[in-house]
Structure 1
Amino acid sequence: MDFSTKVPRQRSESIVPMINVVFLLLIFFLMTSVIKQPAPFELTPPNADQLRMSEGEMAVYVSNDGMVRFDTFENDIAWQRLKGRIDAKTNVKLHVDASLPAPILAQVMAQFRTVGAANVEIITTAK
């Protein structure tokens, strides 16, 4: 007869449940996040007194020297692409640089009228 006490062996820890949780969180965040195309160039948005969330469907960028960019297209080609995709109900987010001269901004806004855009919102930041 053996009356000695046997030391119970410790169970090894498994990290499989933790890996499962991490992958589930990763899938959750990938499915719920909104993937947005980065700005094609550095912009400093103009300041505004009020902040209002925009619900535009398209983003157009204008640099401080007047270069217009839509998706991967620039200037004239961008305007041609916009003309085919914009109707009177389409909201357009216009990202302009704060140092853009007003006459160039006026030309850009006139060009939006020629392509058929009725709802153009200039994106600003709060002071």
Structure 2
Amino acid sequence: MIKPRQRSKREPTIALINIVFLMLVFFMVAGTLAQPLDPELKLVKTEELDGIAPPDALVVHADGRLSYRGADVASAEAYLSAREAEGEEIAVRLVPDRDLDAGALVTLTAELRRAGAARVLVVTERGLQ
């Protein structure tokens, strides 16, 4: 007579995998959520401050006029040739006026790229909403 073979008990690996997955999701969600601001906190108002462009930035005024370090610049090509003469890296920081037409800004960035700018960085105001 053959003795029946005893089966070993199975470990509940599926349940363990589910728990690990749920912990992973929990820590992903808990790590990405930011704490809300204190309702009593009053942020600083900067309405009266003058907005000053960074000193090494090309400023584009609302009428399309360009200026660099306080002096007017004739064109994007003239600006880049002056920067090449200074021996600086050609990464342009562009500060557009809020009222500048978006099409004019896109055209100017394309002109800067065609004239030899390696990168064109548009500097903007960041608001907290």
Q: What TM-score do the two structures reach when normalised by structure 1?
A: 0.46
Of Structure 1 and Structure 2, the greater strand share is in 1
Q: Which has the higher contact order (CA 8 A, sep 6+)?
A: 1
Q: What TM-score do the two structures reach when normalised by structure 2?
A: 0.46
